[in-house]
A and B are shown apart, each in its own frame.
Chain A
Amino acid sequence: MPRRNNFLYIFLSLLFLSFVIFAASKIGLLKPLDSLGKGILSPVQALTYGVYAKLTDFGSSAQIELLKAENIALTKKLIDQNKLIGDNKALRDQFQTQNPKSLSLMEADVIGAPGFIPGISIPETLVLDRGENDGVKIGQAVVYEDNLIGKIIKTSAYLSSVVLISNSSSSFTAKTMSTQALGVIEGQGGGEMILGDVVLSDTLQKKDTVLTKGDVNSGGIGIPPDLVVGEIVSVSKFPSDLFQKANLKSKINFSKLTKVFIIVNNQ
Chain B
Amino acid sequence: MKFSAFFLLIIALILEASLTTIPFVFLGLLVFMAVSRGNWLLVLGFIFGILLDLVSFKTLGISSIFFITFLFFVLLYQSKFEIATNTFVLVTSFLGSLGYLILIGYHDSLIFQAILSSIIGLLLFKLIQNSKIKSES
Cβ-closest chain A residue relative to B54: A37
The smallest C-beta distance from B100 to any residue of chain A, in angstroms, reads 13
Interface set, chain A 1-54, CB cutoff 8 A to B: 4, 6-7, 10-11, 14-15, 17-26, 30, 34, 37-38, 41-42, 44-45, 48-49, 52
User: Interface SS of chain A: helix, strand, loop or mixed?
Assistant: helix
The smallest C-beta distance from A44 to any residue of chain B, in angstroms, reads 6
Decide: A37 near B68, CB < 8 A? Known: A7-B42, A14-B42, A116-B21: no
Number of A residues near B (Cβ < 8 Å) is 47
Cβ-closest chain B residue relative to A51: B18
Contact with A along B41-65 (1 / 0, CB 8 A): 0110110011101111101111011
Number of A-B residue pairs, CB cutoff 8 Å, is 118
Query: Does any Cβ of B come within 8 Å of A161's Cβ?
Result: yes
Does B109 contact A121, Cβ atoms closer than 8 Å? yes
- Among A18, A124, A189, find the residue whose CB has the most chain B CB atoms closer than 10 A: A18
Selected contact of A10 from candidates B42, B59, B62, CB within 8 Å: B42
Q: B57 — which chain A residues lie within 8 A by C-beta?
A: 114, 127, 154, 156, 159, 161
Chain B residues touching A, range:
35 or more
Does A22 contact B14, Cβ atoms closer than 8 Å? no
The smallest C-beta distance from A138 to any residue of chain B, in angstroms, reads 13
Query: Which residues of A line the B interface, CB within 8 A?
Result: 4, 6-7, 10-11, 14-15, 17-26, 30, 34, 37-38, 41-42, 44-45, 48-49, 52, 111-118, 120-121, 124, 127, 154, 156, 159, 161, 168, 189-190
Which 3 pairs show the lowest CB-CB distances between chains A and B? A22-B61, A25-B60, A21-B61
